[in-house]
Amino acid sequence: MYFKQFYLGCLAHASYLIGSDGEGVVVDPQRDIDQYISEADAQGLKIKHVIETHLHADFVSGHRELAARTGAEIVFSKKAGATFPHRAVSEGDEITIGKVLLRIMETPGHTPESISVLVIDTEVSPQPQKVLTGDTLFIGDVGRPDLAGGKGYTPQMMAGMMYDSLHQKLLKLSDDVEVFPAHGAGSMCGRNISKQTSSTIGEQRKFNYALKPMSKEEFILMITSELPAAPGYFSKDAEMNRQGAARLDALAKPAALSPSEVAALISRGCVVLDVRSAAEFGAAHVPGSINIGLGGQFAIWAASLISFQSPIVIVADSEAKVDEAQMRLARVGIESAQGYLKGGLNAWREAGLDMAAVPQITVAELNGLIARHTDLQVLDVRRLPEYTSGHVPGAIAEPLSNLEERVPVLVLEPSKLTAVICAGGYRSSTATSILQQHGFASLLNVAGGTSAWIDAGYPVET
C-alpha cells in the first residue's frame, strides 16, 4: 500500500492519497489539485475515487475538478445531499483499490453526514491499520458540534451523535490503529487540536481530553460549553462543496491597475487587501487597507474578515505574490479579487498619493511605554483562552475575529496611544489596520507579541 498525507499549514488541513496496484484514491482534497495528480503519476497510480469525509465548511474542496481531470468517481455520504453525480455511501460500504480495502463508517457529530474511512491493507491483515477520521476525531480534540444548526440540529443533538460515534465505533478499534484526521492545530473546526498530524487510537484514548471516561450528558455539556462563534464563511463554503466548486482555471486573473484606478475603486467601496508582512505594512501602506499577510493563516483570516461579495484589490510586492494570494483566497471560496496595484506600493508612492503607517515596537519598548505612559492602551487580539493563559498586565482582550463589530463598544479611546499585541505580531498587524479604518490615530504593533514578552521575563497576568 502507498499512503501519503498532504498537509496545508495555512488552512491546518490534511488530505490523503492512498494507492495499490496502480489504483489510487484521494481523500478530502484541497481546491488546487495539481499535487495529487503529480504524485499519483509519480507513483504510477490512476486516481479512481475522490472521497469526502463530510461537507467541509472551512475550505473549498477540489473534488469536482479532480474528478473531471482524472475520471475519478466522487464519494460522499448519502446524507450529504451533494447535487452533482457521485456515489452515495453509508455504513459498511466498501471501496477496493488494488489490494487495499476502504470501509465506510458513519460517524456523525461534527456534521450529520460525517464519515470515517477504515484503511485495510489486505496483504498485511484483514484488520484495519489506519482510520481517516475527517473532522470527527482530531489529535487531542474532537470536531465542534455547532456547525449544523441551520439544518435542524442543535449543538446538543450533534454532541450526542458525536459521543455515540466515538464510543460505539472509533474507540472500539484496536489501540494500534493509526488515526489521520482532516485538520491540525489552528483549525476552527476544533478548539484545542494538537500540532501533531497523526496518532493512534491508543494514544488518543490516553491523552485526548474528550475521550476520558464520562457520561454522555457530561460529554454533551463539555463540548457545547464556551464554543467560539463559527466564522460566517463556514456556511458558504459548505454549500459550495455541496454543489461543487468551479475549476480554478475558470477564475479570471486580477487585472493590473494603476494607482489612480485603485484610488477610484477605493472611493466606490473596494477592499484593499495588503498581503505583505507586518513590518512592510507598518512602514507604509495605502490608507484604509487591511493587512493580512501571506506569511500566516492568510486564507482563514481573509475569509473571516472580508465579505465574499466585496470586490478586492491586492497589494503585494510581486505579481507572483498576487497569484499566490488569489489561489489562497479561492481555497476558501473568495473569488472576488478584481485587480492588483501594479508596481506595488512604490507605484502608489511615486504617484504622490497619501500613505499611512503603523510603527512596530519591540516588547522592551512596550515595557518602557507602560512604565512611562499612564494613558497607554494595550489591546490583546488573541483568542480568549490564549489571553486568559497569560497576558500583558492591564491589556484589554478582544479577539481579532470579533474586532470589526466590537470596535464601537470597546473601552478604548481612538485618540489615545494604543499598542496592539497578539502571539507573535501577525494578527495584531491585521487588528491595527482595522482600527485605523475606525479612526484610531496613534497605533503601535508589538513585534514578537506575547511570546516575546514572556520570553523576555516581563510580568504576566492570568
We report the CATH number of the domain holding residue 187 as 3.60.15.10
Return the exposure string of 44-62: e unless at least 16 CB atoms fall within 10 Å of the residue's CB, then b.
Answer: ebebbbbbbbbbbbbbbbb
Is residue 138 a contact partner of residue 193, using CB atoms and an 8 Å limit? Answer: yes
Q: Which of 243, 260, 279 is the last residue of a domain?
A: 243
In-domain check, residue 461: no
| Same domain flag for 364 and 426 | yes
In-domain check, residue 355: no
In-domain check, residue 450: yes
Domain count across the chain? 3
| Same domain flag for 29 and 75 | yes
Enclosing domain of residue 451: 360-455
In-domain check, residue 43: yes
| Same domain flag for 88 and 151 | yes
Q: Which of 326, 350, 374 is the last residue of a domain?
A: 350
In-domain check, residue 280: yes
**CB under 8 Å, gap of 24 or more: what pairs does 34-40 form?**
35/6, 36/6, 36/66, 37/66, 37/69, 37/70, 39/4, 40/70
Which residues are paired to 360 by β-bridges? 445
Could you tell me the CA-to-CA distances from 198 to 17, 178, 204 in Å, in that order? 15, 7, 10
| Same domain flag for 75 and 165 | yes
Task: Cell 503585494: give the residue.
Answer: 316
| Same domain flag for 134 and 37 | yes
Q: Which three cell numbers stand for residue 147?
A: 456547525
Which residues are paired to 200 by β-bridges? 178
Q: Which of 322, 350, 378 is the last residue of a domain?
A: 350
Is residue 25 a contact partner of residue 2, using CB atoms and an 8 Å limit? Answer: no
pLDDT of residue 151: 77
In-domain check, residue 290: yes
Looking at residue 61, what DSSP letter applies? B
127 CB contacts (<8 Å, ≥6 apart)? Answer: 120, 174
- For residues 259 and 408, what is the distance between their CA atoms, to the nearest angstrom? 31
| Same domain flag for 150 and 297 | no
In-domain check, residue 427: yes
| Same domain flag for 104 and 201 | yes
Is residue 379 a contact partner of residue 418, using CB atoms and an 8 Å limit? Answer: yes
Q: Which of 284, 444, 279 is nearest to 367 (CA)?
A: 444
Strand positions, DSSP E, 138-186:
178-181
| Same domain flag for 432 and 382 | yes
3 state SS of 39: helix
362 CB contacts (<8 Å, ≥6 apart)? Answer: 446, 447, 448, 452
| Same domain flag for 225 and 338 | no
Q: Which of 298, 237, 325, 329 is nearest to 52 (CA)?
A: 237
Torsion of CA 38, 41, 42, 44, to 10 degrees: 160
pLDDT of residue 176: 98
How far is residue 243 CA from its own chain's centroid? 21
Q: What is the CATH number of the domain that holds 399?
A: 3.40.250.10
| Same domain flag for 139 and 266 | no
Task: Cell 482555471: give the residue.
Answer: 249
pLDDT of residue 102: 98
Q: Residue 5: left (phi > 0), alpha (psi -120 to 50), or beta?
A: beta
- Helices of type H across 23-106: 34-42, 63-70
In-domain check, residue 460: no
Can you give the pLDDT of all 462 residues of the chain as single tens digits?
A: 999 999 999 999 999 999 999 999 999 999 999 999 999 999 999 999 999 999 999 999 999 999 999 999 999 999 999 999 999 999 999 999 999 999 999 999 999 999 999 999 999 999 999 999 999 999 999 999 998 766 789 999 999 999 999 999 999 999 999 999 999 998 888 888 999 999 999 999 999 999 999 999 999 999 999 888 888 899 999 999 999 999 998 999 999 999 999 999 999 999 999 999 999 999 999 999 999 999 989 999 999 999 998 999 999 999 999 999 999 999 999 999 999 999 999 999 999 999 999 999 999 999 999 999 889 999 999 999 899 999 999 999 999 999 999 999 999 999 999 999 999 999 999 999 999 999 999 999 999 999 999 999 999 999
Torsion of CA 335, 87, 26, 199, to 10 degrees: 110
453 CB contacts (<8 Å, ≥6 apart)? Answer: 363, 366, 367, 392, 421, 446, 460
Report the alpha-carbon angle 140-427-275, nearest 5: 115
Is residue 31 a contact partner of residue 61, using CB atoms and an 8 Å limit? Answer: yes
pLDDT of residue 385: 86
Is residue 398 a contact partner of residue 320, using CB atoms and an 8 Å limit? Answer: no
| Same domain flag for 325 and 406 | no
- For residues 271 and 267, what is the distance between their CA atoms, to the nearest angstrom? 10
How far is residue 320 CA from its own chain's centroid? 22
Cα Rg of the chain (Å, integer): 24
For residue 117, the surrounding DSSP H or E stretch is strand 115-121
pLDDT of residue 230: 83
pLDDT of residue 294: 96
- For residues 18 and 4, what is the distance between their CA atoms, to the nearest angstrom? 7
Is residue 182 a contact partner of residue 28, using CB atoms and an 8 Å limit? Answer: yes
| Same domain flag for 31 and 84 | yes
Is residue 31 a contact partner of residue 245, using CB atoms and an 8 Å limit? Answer: yes
